[in-house]
Each structure stands twice: as C-alpha cells, then as structure tokens.
Amino acid sequence: MSALRIALVACANGLGHIRRMLSLSLALRDAGASPTLIAPKSAVQRLSEIYEVPLPNIINHEITIRNAPWLKSDANCWTDDFPCLDSFDEVVSDNLIEILALRPRAWLSGTFFWHMALRQFPQHRALRAEELLALYRPRMIASKLFAAPYLAQKTELHKIGLYALGNIIRINGRRDILISCGKGGGARAVTQRTLKKIASGLQPGTSTLWVEPDLHRDEMPGWIRRASFKTTMYHRLAVAVIRPGVGTVTDCLAAGAKLFMFYESDDSEMQHNAEQITINQLGNAFPSPEDAWFAALDYLSALQKKNLPPIIESTLDFNGATQATSLLLADQSRDCILNK
C-alpha cells in the first residue's frame, strides 16, 4: 500500500504558519505518510536550518493575506493560480479558508480566521469565506490554548496541543532576554524606537539581549545581538518581550521563559493570544514594548535576587503535531473503510 499523500498548504504571513506545517510534515513523515509542504521554499529552508530538522517535499508557492493585491481589490482570488491538488489524498490548509473552493473535504488548520481578525478585511471576501464555511462546515485542527471561540461554531473543531519544533530543554541559571515583534502587524516601528532607547542605556546585569535580526544595528552595544531563533538561544532565555504570535510564543513557553507581551490595538488575534497567556499565568500584556521591557527587567531582577520563585515547569501540551497526525490518519482510514 502506497504512503498517504498529504498536501500541507501554508499561509506565508510571517514564519509562524509555515513553522506549524513544517512541524506537522515531520510528524506525518515519521508516521509513514508522504507530506508535501506548499510554501515559499526559502522560508522552509530557513526554518529547517534554524530548528535543525530535515527538509520536507516542497512545492515552492507563496500565499499572503495582509496587503495582498486580491485583498485590496476585485482581483482574482489566490486560488486561481494555485498548484493542482488532484494527486493528494488529503489537504490541510493553514488559515486559508478559500481552499474549500478547490477541495471541499480539506482540513483547515490554525487558531483564527483572517476575515474575523482583520478589521479592514474586504466585505465581499468575508462573505465568501462565510459561504464556504456554511456550505462545507470543514474539519479544523487548532491548538487548544489559542483557538478562537468562534471556530467551534463554524467548523468541526478538533483541539490539540502546541506544535513544538526542535528539542525542549530547560536549564537553570537563564538570564537572557528576547525582544521580537515578528513580521506581521504594525508593531515594528514602535519596537524599533524602543530598541534605540534601550541601546543608549546600560546593560541589565550580565544579560544578553537578543533582538529581531532586521531591527539590529551595527552601532548597538555588544550585549545586544541579532536573534538566531535557534533552540540554543531559546534555552538561555529567562524572559521574552514579544508580540504574541503563536510560533514565537510556543518556542518561548517550551523553553520556560516568562512572557511580557505587546501588540497593536486593532489586532484581535494578538489580543486573544495575549489574553489566553495571561489567563494561564504564563505572562502579562502591556500597552507598548517599552512598558513590557521595564516590567521584564523588574521580573528578571527579582528572579535573580531570589525574591520570586523559579519559573514553574510548564504542564502545557507540546504534542500538537503528533495529535494532528493521528487525526489525519484516522480520518483517512475511515474513508477507506467507507469506500470499500
């Protein structure tokens, strides 16, 4: 019997969506399936190097949502020039509802819908997304920590753990700090201004500050370094000042770092993620990266003076990729039985 052929379609808005599908591809491969990741090849290669994991089969294709031409006008949808899916037994589409027009039985993946999260999402595109959801009520896989409440109303929802990549290792004596705003949203300019102020001040103790690579400047002091986002960097973190995208949050939580979050006021996805992290006592949200920075310094100082307990070992579930694989393979087995 040939291996199950599964297409994993990743939205290219930042690396988080591709990261999730890369994690799933590895779990599927280990289970004997034949996954193919449809995403920008350069981004997949970068993630493969960062996490030191093998490259999957790749179809080099980019789908973006924020600021995409089809989002701003009546241009054709991204599905019109999409690679043919006829050779695949299953399709998983991360945050891309429109795949249902090509493959009605496709699985959806993610924790939110773009037309619900973006305030400027065009009405006609939002109506089309709702039509597809109502027509097909798709099966959907979402990490239970971050799944938006409306997903259960619009899909056949399956909640799983977080998608870990790389080894989960926690060490004592961590003291480093991460500042990251990711690629999405409008937080980059204010983060850059905050970093300029930080760079003009004193080093916080003996901590290294890891910053978003393209926000690093050569004139910054030596204790401020470009973030590698490799597991070796995460293992050194005590705190993280971040915009709470699921990918970076997952890596920080897996390392046991305390989260100090900031985000744009008009981004409901980031707001929901921050609320869930706060509710679960894994971090706190602040109005700006500067406020989050000072709160992180206070926490780090108290931690090092032993005025706070050590960071609690997380009981979070990081087996999302394996659980998603079980769902996909079990569903395909049911289809085989029904078709006999």
What pLDDT sits at residue 260?
Answer: 97
Q: Where does 176-304 sit in CATH, by number?
A: 3.40.50.2000
Higher-pLDDT residue of 100 and 168 is: 100
Give per-residue pLDDT as tens, 256-268: 899 999 998 878 8
Buried b (16+ CB within 10 A) or exposed e, 19-56: bbbbbbbbbbbebebbbbbbbbeebbeebbebbeeeeb
What pLDDT sits at residue 97?
Answer: 97
In this model, does residue 277 exceed pLDDT 90? yes
| The two three-digit tokens of residue 218, written as one number | 């050569």
Give per-residue pLDDT as tens, 160-175: 999 998 777 666 678 8
What pLDDT sits at residue 308?
Answer: 58
Q: How many whole angstroms separate alpha carbon 93 and alpha carbon 79? A: 12
Residue 194: closest CA among 274, 294, 106, 279: 294
Q: Where does 5-165+319-339 sit in CATH, by number?
A: 3.40.50.2000
Give per-residue pLDDT as tens, 41-68: 999 999 999 999 999 999 999 998 876 7
| The two three-digit tokens of residue 100, written as one number | 């249902």
Residue 37: closest CA among 63, 3, 60, 14: 60
Q: Tell me, yes or no, if the two domains 5-165+319-339 and 176-304 fold the same way.
A: yes
**Confidence band for 1, pLDDT divided at 50, 70 and 90:** low
Give per-residue pLDDT as tens, 194-232: 999 999 999 999 899 999 999 999 999 999 999 999 988
For the chain, what are the domain ranges? Answer: 5-165+319-339, 176-304
What pLDDT sits at residue 156?
Answer: 98
The model carries a pTM of: 0.90
DSSP 252-266: HHHHTPEEEE---TT
**Confidence band for 132, pLDDT divided at 50, 70 and 90:** very high
**Confidence band for 309, pLDDT divided at 50, 70 and 90:** low
Under the phi-then-psi rule, with left for phi > 0, alpha for psi from -120 to 50, and beta for the rest, what region is 110?
A: left
What pLDDT sits at residue 338?
Answer: 38
In this model, does residue 336 exceed pLDDT 70? no
What pLDDT sits at residue 183?
Answer: 72
